[in-house]
């Protein structure tokens, strides 16, 4: 039987800074300085202390360190929610770097702002990576706290505050522009673009990039129709229904994959063949996109890389390194699949590299 023996301090005599001090012949203070890379310690003692640490296999107790004002080697990750699998790649990227650098990550969702404040107050985390939700108001008290306490934080996506907050973003403009070029290569003459809400920054950038790309290829802009959606599947379905009943276009580009999915569903229902009768593409490369029928051509956000870059920069900030830029924009990748008219077999992903290039 599993025994819930609790509370007894069965200390498997852990090696402490005291042990190292004795072994190395220095004070605890010096050992601490070596651990924290204090430049004031003489190189030779540094060496000796390090040797003692290795011999004993000493690992600092971050709990004690945190309590006395040091670091915890832990960073908090704040996500809008966990219900959808949208963030698994992001998390994996973050985790990869965490493992490499021996950091811990504690996961929080937007529902627990109070709990996040507690993390900060008690110094349980050294920094915060924030993927903000739609509505930025939530973050305000949090941001104040972060700024006043001088705790490093990094946004994933456009930050909800302006003044130079650190952020990792995605090249929405470039991604949509590339899609536009690809559409023109396919020879599409009439196109429907379904945007997100007009106030949404991602959607705006994607719309801008798409128009830019079409213009560059001398597409007749009179044949580009634009309708405003809200990023939901239902809305994609509805707009497709409303528009396609009366107009005919060669292709639809939705500002995200969920709306593209809605369009696809409408087409199936109406017996329109994709891509033969009409091409469809989206943006995000969401978790479901390659499994749709037909597999969805889309613009991949490099979520994994966003995670690694965010975490790497977080660690730099925590460890006090000056960072030159406060914003980093990562390139997207056009995922050509069947829904735009490119041809692949049923294992799609496998043959991805064959087309164009």
Write out the residues near DNA by the rule CB under 7 A: 7, 11, 14, 16-18, 25-33, 35-36, 40-45, 58, 60-61, 64-65, 67-71
To DNA, the closest distance from the beta carbon of 78 in angstroms equals 24
> What does 331 interact with, of its own copies, DNA, none (CB < 5 to 8 A by kind)?
none
Q: How far apart are CA 193 and CA 329, in angstroms?
A: 24
> What does 271 interact with, of DNA, its own copies, none (CB < 5 to 8 A by kind)?
none
Tokens representing 175 are 């991604």
> What does 218 interact with, of DNA, its own copies, none (CB < 5 to 8 A by kind)?
none
Tokens representing 240 are 């497709």
Closest to its own copies by CB, 25 vs 164, is 164
Closest to DNA by CB, 61 vs 141, is 61
> What does 322 interact with, of its own copies, DNA, none (CB < 5 to 8 A by kind)?
its own copies
Closest to DNA by CB, 8 vs 347, is 8
Q: How far apart are CA 130 and CA 273, in angstroms?
A: 41
Q: How far apart are CA 217 and CA 241, in angstroms?
A: 29
To DNA, the closest distance from the beta carbon of 51 in angstroms equals 14
Closest to DNA by CB, 16 vs 133, is 16
End-to-end CA distance of the chain: 61
Closest to DNA by CB, 104 vs 225, is 104
Closest to DNA by CB, 62 vs 82, is 62
To DNA, the closest distance from the beta carbon of 67 in angstroms equals 4
To its own copies, the closest distance from the beta carbon of 214 in angstroms equals 29
Closest to DNA by CB, 20 vs 156, is 20
List of residues 6+ apart from 141 with CB closer than 8 A? 113, 117
Closest to its own copies by CB, 176 vs 264, is 264
> What does 119 interact with, of DNA, its own copies, none (CB < 5 to 8 A by kind)?
its own copies
Question: Which residue's entry shows tokens 């650098």?
Answer: 101
Tokens representing 15 are 């090696």
Tokens representing 178 are 């590339």
To DNA, the closest distance from the beta carbon of 263 in angstroms equals 55
Buried b (16+ CB within 10 A) or exposed e, 190-213: ebbbbbbeeebebbbbbbebbbeb
Beta bridge partners of 127: 75
Closest to its own copies by CB, 18 vs 121, is 121
To its own copies, the closest distance from the beta carbon of 76 in angstroms equals 9
What SS3 state is found at 265?
helix
> What does 33 interact with, of DNA, its own copies, none (CB < 5 to 8 A by kind)?
DNA
> What does 242 interact with, of DNA, its own copies, none (CB < 5 to 8 A by kind)?
none
Long-range contacts of range 61-69, CB-CB < 8 Å, 24 or more positions apart? 61/14, 61/16, 66/122, 66/123, 66/124, 67/123, 69/123
To DNA, the closest distance from the beta carbon of 25 in angstroms equals 7
3-class DSSP string for 341-354: CCCCCCCHHHHHHH
To DNA, the closest distance from the beta carbon of 128 in angstroms equals 19
To DNA, the closest distance from the beta carbon of 27 in angstroms equals 4
Q: How far apart are CA 81 and CA 131, in angstroms?
A: 10
> What does 42 interact with, of DNA, its own copies, none (CB < 5 to 8 A by kind)?
DNA
> What does 30 interact with, of its own copies, DNA, none (CB < 5 to 8 A by kind)?
DNA
Which of 295, 256, 244 minimizes the C-alpha distance to 274? 295
Strands 251-254 and 104-109, by their bridges, are: unpaired
| Alpha-carbon distances of 6 from 9, 10, 11, 45, rounded to whole Å | 8, 10, 13, 41
């Amino acid at each position: 039987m599993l025994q819930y023996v609790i509370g007894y301090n069965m200390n498997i005599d852990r090696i402490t800074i005291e042990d190292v001090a004795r072994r190395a012949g220095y004070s605890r203070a010096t050992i601490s300085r070596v651990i924290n890379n204090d430049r004031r310690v003489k190189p030779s003692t540094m060496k000796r202390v390090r040797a003692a640490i290795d011999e004993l296999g000493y690992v600092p107790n971050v709990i004690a360190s945190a309590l006395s004002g040091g670091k915890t080697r832990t960073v908090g990750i704040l996500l809008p929610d966990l219900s959808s699998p949208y963030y698994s790649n992001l998390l994996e990227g973050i985790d990869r770097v965490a493992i490499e650098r021996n950091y811990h990550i504690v996961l929080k969702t937007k529902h627990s702002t109070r709990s996040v404040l507690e993390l900060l107050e008690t110094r349980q985390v050294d920094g915060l990576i924030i993927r903000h939700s739609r509505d930025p108001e939530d973050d305000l008290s949090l941001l104040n706290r972060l700024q006043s306490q001088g705790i490093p934080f990094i946004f994933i996506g456009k930050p909800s505050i302006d003044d130079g907050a650190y952020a990792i973003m995605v090249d929405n403009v470039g991604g949509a522009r590339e899609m536009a070029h690809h559409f023109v290569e396919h020879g599409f003459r009439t196109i429907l673009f379904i945007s997100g809400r007009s106030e949404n920054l991602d959607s705006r950038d994607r719309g801008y990039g798409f128009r830019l790309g079409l213009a560059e290829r001398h597409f007749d802009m009179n044949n580009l129709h634009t309708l405003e959606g809200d990023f939901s599947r239902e809305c994609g379905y509805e707009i497709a229904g409303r528009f396609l009943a009366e107009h005919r276009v060669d292709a639809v580009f939705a500002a995200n994959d969920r709306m593209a999915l809605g369009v696809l569903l409408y087409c199936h229902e109406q017996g329109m063949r994709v891509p033969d009768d009409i091409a469809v593409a989206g943006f995000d490369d969401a978790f479901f996109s390659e499994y749709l029928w037909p597999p969805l051509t889309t613009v991949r956000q490099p979520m994994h890389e966003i995670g690694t870059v965010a975490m790497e920069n977080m660690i730099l900030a925590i460890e006090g390194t000056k960072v030159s830029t406060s914003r980093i924009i990562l390139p997207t990748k056009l995922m050509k699949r069947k829904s735009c008219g490119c041809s692949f077999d049923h294992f799609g992903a496998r043959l991805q590299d064959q087309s164009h290039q």
